[in-house]
Amino acid sequence: MTVPSVPAESGTVRRSPSDAARARLASRLAAGAEFLASDPTDDSGALSDDTSATDGPRRFAAAAPPPDPAAPAPVSFAQRRLWFLHQFQPDSPAYHVPAVLRLTGPLSVDALRDALDRLVALHPALRTVFDDADGEPVQRVVDAPAARLDVTDLTDLPAEQREARVRDAVAAERQPPFDLRRGPLLRTRLFRLGEHDHRLFLDLHHIVVDGWSLSVLVNDLVRCYAAATGHGTAPARPPVDPAGHARWQHHRVRAGELDDQLAWWERRLAGASATELAPDRVRPAVLGWRGGRRTVRLDAGLTDQVRATARRYAASPFMVLLAGFVALLHRQTGQSDVVLGTPVAGRDRVELEPLVSLLVNTVVLRTDVSGDPTFADLVARVRDVVLDAQTHHEAPFELLVERLRPVRDPARHPLFQIVFAMKNLPPFERLHVGALTVELLDMVGEVSKFDLSVMAFEGDTHIDCEFEFSTELFDDERIAQLMTQYRAVLGSLCGHPDRRLSAAALLDPDEEDRIVRRWSGRVRDHPTVPVHHLVARRARSAPDSPAVRADGRTLTYGELDRRADVLAARLRAVGAGPGRPVAVCLERGPELVTAFLAVLKAGAAYVPLDPGYPPDRLTFTLADSAACAVLTGEELTGRFAAARTAVLDVAVAIADAEEADAVAPAAEPDPREIAYVIYTSGSSGRPKGVEVTHGGLANLVHWHLDAYQVGPRDRATLVASPGFDACTWELWAALAGGAALHVPPEPVRVAPDRLARWLVDEAITVTFLPTTVAEAVLAEPAVTGSALRLLLTGGDALTRTPPPGLGARLVNHYGPTENTVVATADPVPAQAGPVVHAPPIGRAIANVTTYVLDGAGRPVPVGVPGELCLGGLQVARGYLRDPRRTAERFVPDPFGETPGARLYRTGDLVRWLPDGRLDFLGRLDSQLKVRGFRVEPSEIEAVLVTHPAVREAAVVVRGDGADRRDLAALLVLADGPAPTYEEVRAVARRHLPGYMVPAVLAVVDDLPVTTNGKLDRDRLSWRDGRPLRQESTAEPPVGATERAVAEVWALVLDVPPLGRTDNFFDLGGHSFLALRARQQLAERLGVELNVVDLFQFPTVASLAAHLDRIRATPEPAGKPEPGAPDGYAQRRRAALRGGLARRRQAHEQRRLAEGTDR
């Protein structure tokens, strides 16, 4: 904290020489941020833009309306938000404002108590308490008792232990919550370490002070002590009190004086998204207050560079430091729209300077970093951003939030998550009263109000940057690395202002070598034996061993090999071979396995077709692949009646396998030849075929056999659908190792409880299950203690760990089709209770390389998100007959040691963890992932707009977690009758697989677009639309509790009657309406809710269920409301019950008067 210098005429209170040089500045400096340099070359500091050379600072009194003594005093808008935050987390010390003073020299404890009494009498904020009137907070000043100053004597302790004991005691003293309704909101304690050595602890609630106020209080306390000891005079009473300031602020809003500023901010922040650093652990549902602090010092050389850059580009040091931080966040996140918050003091009128109250406001700094600007360009952009914000800094942040109505999330702050600010004065000041010296110590507890706050302190020869961070999100090592990178980026760019941001190095040579050479993997071995040859070897060595078991049938390896030989001969007869693929459309079973093996034996590539796909999809894939034949079953042949290719019934083709002559096998394929082509969703609106090579498939299988030691004693499974590339992995890894491949019946495969029992009954030892299925099976107790030794999973982000005692290893896998199914693997340890950290995707498998690169193709440091690019033996050849897209996604490998090596750009966002594993974060592009399938929204959108009533469509994911994700489509309808829900879904079902058919269809007036006119997918939300359904299908509230919640919400929100799925915040609810709803529900139902409950249960049905659970849980007898006398809650409910009835009556009268039928 910074203590403003005391005026020279303050008796014998003396300042240190370093303070005097800044005395002129002190009254003009913002408590939180230095904004605007009146002369950028003048190092004296920052002046408000309301200051001029002729008129001086703006004055307050002339603008203030006369107070109404009879009316309850309102609170300022900043205090209103603090009131809400206190209701939201009443036990949090995050908004306590502590200070510890070192008192060195002779101290009179009685005089200090007298000084505290004088201080409380001087500043009404210290005697203020807060209550609510009809859901709105109000303030009132009460008579304060004599100051309580408890003294803790530590002189009995060894001298070296006393300071540590003070720190521990201070940390404990600041934990108890303040009672805003009863006060007091100032707590003090004096620690005696020696006869002339004391520590004074002050703790206040932020609702009555800000950083500036604390500085005023410390100065005034010293001057009151000087008066009490005869060394000076007491300070004068401030000309304005907190209530007067709040009335004036509300008057300005009502008079429309701030309308233009608010409108400017609405335009400025339209479409903005808060910049966030990827956390080190899963963000909790409700973000707590625990934090840490670290400081990085910019040495004299770098500090001089910062100041020189500021002078050169007509900026201030704050602007240059901010520009460096924006550049770092841009490189860390890849975002070109960087949105931060910064505080402003709100004291641009002279009467407000000595006022103790919460006056600080917050502004949002939104910087455009697009186009890879030079640092000089970025400083200019930041300067414009800062000056514009300063011009409009009086608009209360709280009103702006209500106008913008951002999505409310109890784990995030509205509009920004990261704060950057600056203080020009040194962090500590020293004052003298006679022989007593007073210093402000840095001994506050470690809390964090935001994800990350950076505060810069400018000294004479250096700048210290303090990083305060949430320890619920970030590790200490991560912040230490961030600080090092900030210093490096700032030095690189300030030293070369013409350097582009992309050229600023984030990695030092040692770290780059570790990441690129040691962590990314190497290509060493080159497996040469193709998978179908491995199966043939097994058939020769153990022909009677079971190969495939399904529906009570068993196919031995010898039978499988013989049938595949016969079928391969038939395929070669119809032209199958290299470059002539064969489509396979069969259900999981022995025939599918035989068909795949036969295609490879014929020297061709197979193209799996899922029988569940709609006819249009099958027709397209067959035509696009130019398959020379289709292998299918009797019940499916009719689907290919119009096919211009040979259609073979596998069962008929191999019926005479025992009598057929042996057929010479095809020549061993080149590793670069195609083994199979699998179709995935395409961004052009059409599926795209991925050409996977024999070399890639062989490497996958050899790695699997080595890593998991699969052998003849194993029983493996074929669970994945034929159109899912994991089917290929399951099949070949089992057969190449000589295991028996068991195929579960379809009704078993789709029911996790039945599948778990089947795994036990079949004594399965190794299984691959898609992520959603694996998580469901892990929840089944049946698999614990079974024969299962390996549970392999992949396809979606894993959110569950194995329970203790499972007995099987769970291994998480990641890999796109373009890298032959699997690229990385990571064993997942057992864990009891909920998953705190999402399991990572691990390290590269053998002969696969993994690189995390930024937009310019450079490796990024640990913890920094980047695109995952894959190299090595498993990279696919490309997209079938699509050279343009192949060139876009398959690029030269700059790190590879093999000539002509390529990387596949996955489009997936990942980061390195400190131990060298990879953490999956999401997608870089618009591609979605649902239940293990990659989905291009544009492919679905292209189908939806074929309905004549749909003019535009956009597809988003609905839900969180792998097991709760489905698709929602936002539709802009054409003129004319609106389609029904089923009509639009019917169109989708005719052309798309089931997993690509949106579950939710919602109508919007238009779709959000960027400034370039492109669809702005970041602003899409399925909640933005009106459900495409008949009104009669809306579910009304069920039961008394749901009806009560619906009625209270309709009253508070002033909306028509609600359904049970209506969302409070989607209907216009915000923080303070949530407070009113909470209060009225408490009155009506007799249940005390926490405000956070409305954020966690935002629909009528979910909140009603939560209320019923609360009422079903007996409350411990004799437990009063915290901080209140016995019976307080009952008296409060009784007092407010009449108010609810009056409001309900007024609401009904207003509806009748308006002629509305709600």
Q: Return the number of other C-beta atoms located less than 10 Å from residue 783's C-beta.
A: 24
Q: Is 874 exposed, middle or buried (0-12, 13-18, 19+ CB in 10 A)?
A: buried
Q: CA distances (Å), 437 to each of 111, 199, 225, 688, in order?
A: 15, 12, 12, 77
Cα torsion 320, 324, 329, 330: sign: positive
Write out the two tokens for 591: 């025939």
C-alpha distances (whole Å) from 809 to each of 766, 792, 801, 917, 1097 are 10, 8, 10, 18, 36
Asked if 355 contacts 238 with a C-beta cutoff of 8 angstroms, the reply is yes
Whether 467 contacts 293, CB under 8 Å: yes
Nearest to 44 by CA among 61, 31, 27: 27
Among the listed residues 288, 292, 275, the one whose alpha carbon sits nearest the alpha carbon of residue 342: 275
CA dihedral sign, ordered 863, 864, 866, 871: negative
> Using CA atoms, how far apart are residues 674 and 668, in angstroms rounded to an integer?
12
Residue spans of the domains in the chain: they are 72-243, 246-423+447-513, 531-693, 847-921, 928-1032, 1037-1154
* Residue 438 φ/ψ, nearest 5 degrees: -120, 125
CA angle 114–120–122, rounded 5-degree value? 100
CATH number of 1037-1154: 1.10.1200.10
Helix (H, G, I), strand (E, B) or coil at 456: strand
**How many C-beta atoms surround the C-beta of residue 966 within 10 A?**
15
Fold of 928-1032: GMP Synthetase; Chain A, domain 3 (3.30.300)
Instruction: Give CA–CA dist 425/259, Å, rounded.
Output: 34
- Domains 246-423+447-513 and 928-1032 agree in fold: no
Q: What's the confidence (pLDDT) of residue 87?
A: 84
Dihedral (CA of 580, 585, 591, 593) sign: positive
DSSP assignment string, 302-352: HHHHHHHHHHHTT--HHHHHHHHHHHHHHHHH--SEEEEEEEE----BGGG
CATH number of 246-423+447-513: 3.30.559.30
Which value, in Å, is the radius of gyration of the alpha carbons in the chain?
35
Question: In this structure, how many other beta carbons lie within 10 angstroms of the beta carbon of residue 1031?
Answer: 7
Q: What pLDDT sits at residue 1153? A: 34
- CATH class (in words) of the domain with range 72-243: alpha beta
| Rounded Cα gap, residues 268 and 262, in angstroms | 10
Calculate ∠ Cα 324-326-331, nearest 5°.
95
For residues 859 and 902, what is the distance between their CA atoms, to the nearest angstrom? 16
**Residue type for 898, please?**
T
Phi, psi of 1036 (to 5 degrees): -75, 165
Low-confidence ranges of the chain (pLDDT < 50): 1-57, 62-63, 69-70, 425-428, 961-964, 1011-1012, 1030-1033, 1116-1158
CATH number of 531-693: 3.40.50.12780
847-921 CATH pick, 2.30.30.110, 3.90.1150.10, 2.30.38.10, 3.20.20.150: 2.30.38.10
Q: Are 252 and 429 in contact (CB under 8 A)?
A: no
